[in-house]
Homo-oligomer: A and B are copies of this chain.
Amino acid sequence: MTRVTFQSGTQHVADVAYLPVGKREQTKVQNRQAILDAAREVFGELGVEAATVRDIIRRTGLAAGTFYNYYRSKDEVFAALSDDGARRFAPILKSLRHKGHFDGFVREAIVAYFEFMADEHNSWAARRPEGEIQPHIQGETPEMKAVFAEVKAAIEDAIAEGRGPASDTEYMTAACIGIAREVGDRMLARRPIDTASAADFAVEMILNGLKGLPGAMRGA
């Protein structure tokens, strides 16, 4: 089982600035990043719906108008964060595909997903100053949502390709996804966050569930 480590969104985007750049480019990248960081926080604390552009920009210290030099709306930042998450996660997931063994694929996908969530959650919580009053936290970041969508797509594909058991593939996907989502959420609420045992549980549940299905088991 491959151990993966994820880099927080902040570092990731900064790393992208790999070419020597003038000061102007520098601050452009910094501002863009500052907005993304602030948005991540605000989304996590207030929820995506309740968050306003003002909330985001206020936290950056930038001027209101500056926001619109980078994004056209709150939804666009949301999409950017989602993309960021998806982009970071996609290669891991892709490497798991076409490995043939459905059971192994599921396990690794779930593990990767849970670890991503845990990492995201940690790096996000860690960035908050200690002494401060902790604001109300909602906790699901756009990245998590995006990665969830990726995993879902992967499982959908795997099942549809017949590498998983043949039954009602749509419902099968739905069941896997449901388990992953709900167990993953509970996992994040526990201290310490234990991705391994959560993954064990979810994988058992999924594989056993699928195996018992009437039309079942034709897996690779």
Contact = CB atoms under 8 A, between A and B. Distances in A.
Interface stretch (A20-28, A53-61, A177-185): A177-185
Contacts of A13: none
A207 interface: yes
A171 B181 CA distance: 11
A205 B47 contact: no
Contacts of A182: 174-175, 177-178, 181
A179 B179 CA distance: 6
Contact of A204 (B47, B50, B213): B213
- What is the count of identical protomers in the complex? 4
Contacts of A136: none
A201 interface: yes
Where chain A touches its partner, the secondary structure class is helix
A206 interface: yes
Contacts of A175: 178-179, 182-183, 201-202, 205
A86 to B, nearest CB: 20
Contact of A178 (B50, B177, B197): B177
A186 B170 contact: yes
Interface in A200-220: 201-202, 204-214
Contacts of A212: 204-205, 207-209, 211-212
A183 B174 contact: yes
Interface in A9-54: 47, 49-50
A117 to B, nearest CB: 14
Given A49-B47, A175-B179, A213 B202 contact: no
